[in-house]
Amino acid sequence: MAKYLIVTGGVVSSLGKGITAASIGRLLINRGLSIRMLKLDPYLNVDPGTMSPYQHGEVYVTDDGAETDLDLGHYERYTGQPTSQKSNITAGSVYWNVLHKERHGDYLGGTVQMIPHISNEIKERIRSLESENPDVILIELGGTVGDIEGLIFLEALRQLGTDVGRDNAMYIHLTYVPYIKAASEVKTKPTQQSVAKLREIGILPHILVCRTEVDLTDEHIEKLSLFCNVPKECVIVEKDVETSIYEIPLVLAEQGVDEQILNHFRIARPTKPLKDWQKLISVIKKPKGTVKIGVVGKYSELQDAYKSIYEALYHGGYAAEYKVEIVKIAAEEIEENPDVLKTVSGILIPGGFGSRGMEGKIRAAQYARENNIPFLGICLGMQCAVIEFARNVCGLTGAHTTEFDEERGEKTEHPVVCLMEEQQDVTEKGGTMRLGACPCDLKKGTKAFEAYGEKKISERHRHRYEVNNRYCEQFEEKGLILSGRNPDIGVVEMIELPGHPWYVATQAHPELKSQPVLPHPLFRDFVAASINHGS
């Protein structure tokens, strides 16, 4: 039977609960256990697919096409274990299901209530992962203990512990232990109160993970242990790391978190050093050099809007033992003047929706092409590269994507990027989002093929618009290489430029599959080309 490991957060948000949960996941995998991870989000949106990056950061897409919370990105990056539709449960989707069942008469005239109907729905959705037979199901609850909307989730998690038996459930509470400068003192009181709040609901945490900016003394640990009713060896200190968030698995392993978990579940597995992670951290701490990569986006002022892109770039750097310095460039800024691009050794245009900054991105693609600067276009980034090539190489004045026709109040004369139903020679129709894993066949002898090292690949998608097949002949005549095609629906998946050091673009989101210990081949080769260009 699956064991349940439940991670809650206290005192404040933004403590890095996702990273801590993912790091624990890594430790369990390292002990030879199979795991599934899932995130409970107490907000009322059905999924984060329609939420603004200002509100929610990036939308992370799974192989099976779910639009999910970005914490799932941490889970995959740290554990290498793919997530799925089942890995993200929002309050909105829970209420939605229950209300549908109510309208359908499934409750046979009964009064529909928070307990048991909502709590049961949450538990059923969690427990559906048992059919995949993992050793451990690791659950992260979003938000902070004490949030009104999180209450029913805590209740469901409490019940879950009773349902599966106390030996099969373990609760980990991530908390904040502040250092008050004026008093030169570490304060344990917020943690005591947060644990008291959990106990009020009936959850008794087994492990405390204390986020802190300073070292905690034995005295602090004893105090936390006494007041929070947690054995001393289960009070774990997660101090801010100096170099990289990828140090966290090592920090937790050093304090024996995995040992405590295995003891609780009465599972015996030998300890194993995290060799690949130790190597990774030594590379991160002593890079051979630094390379500057410009990311030309719409949300450059936000930390999380391009989370997976930034991480994948760092991973590409690790492969070359280099530090990637990301230069966040607002696309609108370079509409007038692309000179800021002179300072970078590689240019990346990420995915996006909406026309703001579009001309700046197209300008950046042109700059990279004309000045032989390594370039990686992702989704909208590839569409920008195609539009630029159509306008400036094929002479198709006014070439554009039909995505912004309405916003611009005009119909583009050369719709080089459009919806599938707006073009011919494509076997499938449909104007809805292409979501999740899609196959792609690569042309031999291309940079794409060289990177992946195989002909048949699969990457995740999240977009509506495609390169218009009607223009492909013209593009190829003028030298554009269509290096990847979808074998099922015939659309262009990847392009590149010959005679350029490295100019590759993809309709997919390869950044979603990159891991620090297994950098994505496109990011690896793009960063390597950028290092070459800069030296």
Three-state DSSP state, 253? helix
Pick between residue 177 and residue 417 the one whose CB is nearest to ligand GLN: 417
- Closest approach, Cβ 492 to ligand GLN, in A, equals 12
56 binds ligand GLN (CB under 6 A): no
Q: Residue 169, SS3?
A: strand
Residue 307 engages ligand GLN in binding (rule: CB under 6 A): no
Strand partners, 484: 442, 494
Measured CA to CA, the distance from residue 257 to residue 238 in angstroms comes to 11
In whole angstroms, what is the distance from residue 470 CA to residue 483 CA? 17
Q: Cβ 416 to ligand GLN, closest distance in Å?
A: 13
Does residue 384 have an active-site annotation? no
Near ligand GLN by CB under 6 A: residue from 101, 187, 197, 464: 464
Euclidean distance between CA atoms 510 and 379, whole angstroms: 10
Q: Rounded to an integer, what distance in angstroms lies between the CA atom of residue 212 and that of residue 186?
A: 9
Q: Which of 88, 92, 65, 96 is closest to 432 using CA atoms?
A: 65
Nearest alpha-carbon partner for 250 in 225, 205, 218, 282: 282
Q: CA distances (Å), 250 to each of 245, 314, 358, 491, in order?
A: 10, 19, 42, 44
Q: Which is nearer to ligand GLN, 8 or 507 (CB)?
A: 507
User: Could you tell me which stretch among 30-38, 175-183, 283-291, 347-355 binds ligand GLN (CB under 6 A)?
Assistant: 347-355
d(CA 41, CA 44) in angstroms, rounded, equals: 8
Residue 462 sits in the site that holds ligand GLN (CB under 6 A): yes
Which lies closer to ligand GLN via its Cβ, residue 83 or residue 506?
506
Residues 239-268 that bind ligand GLN (CB under 6 A): none
Closest contact distance (angstroms) between CB of 493 and ligand GLN is 13
Q: DSSP for 31-60?
A: TT--EEEEEEE-SSSS-GGGS-HHHH-PPE
* Per annotation, catalytic residue among 210, 228, 234, 379: 379
Q: Give whichever of 11 and 380 is closer to ligand GLN, judged by the CB atom.
A: 380
Report d(CA 461, CA 435) in Å as an integer.
Answer: 5
Question: Catalytic site residue 400?
Answer: no
Out of 3, 26, 77, 463, which residue is the one contacting ligand GLN (CB under 6 A)? Answer: 463
Smallest distance from ligand GLN to CB 59, Å: 9
The verdict on 380 binding ligand GLN (CB under 6 A) reads yes
The answer to whether residues 387 and 417 touch, using CB atoms and an 8 Å cutoff, is yes
Asked if residue 333 lies in contact with residue 306, where contact means CB atoms within 8 angstroms, the answer is no
Smallest separation, CB 382 to ligand GLN (Å):
8
Q: Is residue 57 within 8 Å of 74, Cβ to Cβ? A: no
Q: b/e per residue, 337-358, with b = 16+ CB within 10 A?
A: ebebbeebbbbbbbbbeebbbb
Among 137, 170, 379, 480, binds ligand GLN (CB under 6 A): 379
Tell me which residue has tokens 């889970």. Answer: 75
The residue range among 8-16, 21-29, 200-208, 460-468 that interacts with ligand GLN, by the rule CB under 6 A, is 460-468
State CA 520 to chain mean position distance.
14
Q: Which residue is nearest to ligand GLN (CB)?
A: 351
Confirm or reject binding of residue 465 to ligand GLN (CB under 6 A).
Answer: yes
Helix (H, G, I), strand (E, B) or coil at 184: coil
Residue 61 and residue 462 in contact, taking contact as beta carbons nearer than 8 Å: yes
Q: Which is nearer to ligand GLN, 67 or 121 (CB)?
A: 67
Number of residues located near ligand GLN, criterion CB under 6 A: 10
Nearer Cβ to ligand GLN, position 143 or 377?
Answer: 377
* The one catalytic residue among 76, 238, 388, 511: 511
By DSSP bridging, strand 415-419 and strand 503-506 are unpaired
Pick the closer one to ligand GLN by CB: 4 or 465: 465
Q: Which stretch binds ligand GLN (CB under 6 A): 72-80, 291-299, 420-428, 458-466?
A: 458-466
Identify which of residues 86 and 470 has a Cβ nearer to ligand GLN in the complex. Answer: 470
Compose the 395-424 pattern: x for residues touching ligand GLN by CB under 6 A, - for all others. --------x---------------------
Nearer to ligand GLN, 197 or 356 (CB): 356
Q: Which of residues 351-370 bind ligand GLN (CB under 6 A)?
A: 351-353
Residue 283 corresponds to which tokens in the numbers above? 């590379």
User: Which stretch in 105-113, 288-296, 345-353, 524-532 sits in contact with ligand GLN by CB under 6 A?
Assistant: 345-353
Is 500 catalytic? The answer is no
Q: Provide the pairing of β-strand 456-463 with 481-485.
A: unpaired
Residue 306 touches ligand GLN, criterion: CB under 6 A: no
Active site residues: 379, 509, 511
Q: Where do contacts with ligand GLN occur on this chain (CB under 6 A)?
A: 351-353, 379-380, 403, 462-465
